[in-house]
Amino acid sequence: MSDSPTRPWHASYQQVGIAPALEALPYRNLAEMAHESCKRWQTESQVKAAFSCVVPNGMNGRLSFAQVDELSDAFAGYLRAVLGLKAGDRVAVQLPNSLGYPVAALGVFKAGCVLVNTNPLYTETEMIHQFNNAGAQVLVMVDMFADKLPAVLAKTGIKQVVLASVSSFFPAVPGAIVRGVQRYWNRVLPPVTAPHIRLSEALAQGRATLAKTPAREYWQGIGRHELA
């Protein structure tokens, strides 16, 4: 291959020690990479956090590698076993930088679904356009902007809404302080009038399905390029 007349540039690669082709990745897909990485680091680094989040008032939370692996497995179970999604179905995740994001995003990958990243600050018009363009069926959204849901759901194919909070997975006391500031001081938590489920409940439902169908079964048969 390297001396093929149709690829004369390969000779230049050899002169500087560059392989003419990339080696195959060790993982079949992003879901396998996420699981194996969490498994590796939860063994090698028991005390380090996989993800941490600090809000402006100093309250903070963190998730270990083992927690991220378990929680994203549970979310994959919710998407596939509870909601009945199939490999390749689209899930919109409209979360800020928070602990809920890696749980939802990696759960989407583990379910064999396609992640549709969405800016939390999008207007209703922008949300409607992106969700319809992507064909999203499920929306994971921060509850600070849940007042947009009635208008958006009426004009899209979103069938289920999962609401997370900025303080999802914070310890009880810091989480309560953050929610109190949001609700009573900043007043940024609107009433939720659209049908929805909270992320904690979705995870509980998904976790209950894993004894029958482990999350790995959802991604093991998916090829290298099918979760892109």
**This prediction's pTM:** 0.88
SS3 label, residue 117: strand
Helix axes 100-110, 199-209, angle to 10 degrees: 40
Predicted confidence at residue 13, as pLDDT, reads: 87
What residue segments make up the domains of the chain, in order of their start? Answer: 28-212
Q: Which two tokens stand for residue 153?
A: 């759901």
Nearest to 125 by CA among 148, 96, 157: 148
Nearest to 128 by CA among 91, 160, 155: 155
pLDDT band for 228, please (50, 70, 90 cuts).
very low
CA–CA gap between residue 113 and residue 225 (Å, rounded): 12
The CATH code belonging to domain 28-212 is 3.40.50.980
87-128 pLDDT, tens per residue?
999 999 999 999 999 999 999 999 999 999 999 999 999 999
Predicted confidence at residue 45, as pLDDT, reads: 58
pLDDT of 141 higher than 50: yes
Higher pLDDT among residues 228 and 5, named by residue: 5
pLDDT band for 4, please (50, 70, 90 cuts).
low
pLDDT of 8 higher than 50: yes
Q: Which long-range contacts (CB under 8 A, 24 or more apart) does 124-128 make?
A: 124/148, 124/151, 124/152, 127/94, 127/152, 127/156, 128/152, 128/155, 128/156
Helix (H) or strand (E) holding 77: helix 65-77
Q: Which letter does DSSP use for residue 112 in this model?
A: T
149-202 pLDDT, tens per residue?
999 999 999 999 999 999 999 999 999 999 899 888 989 899 999 999 999 999
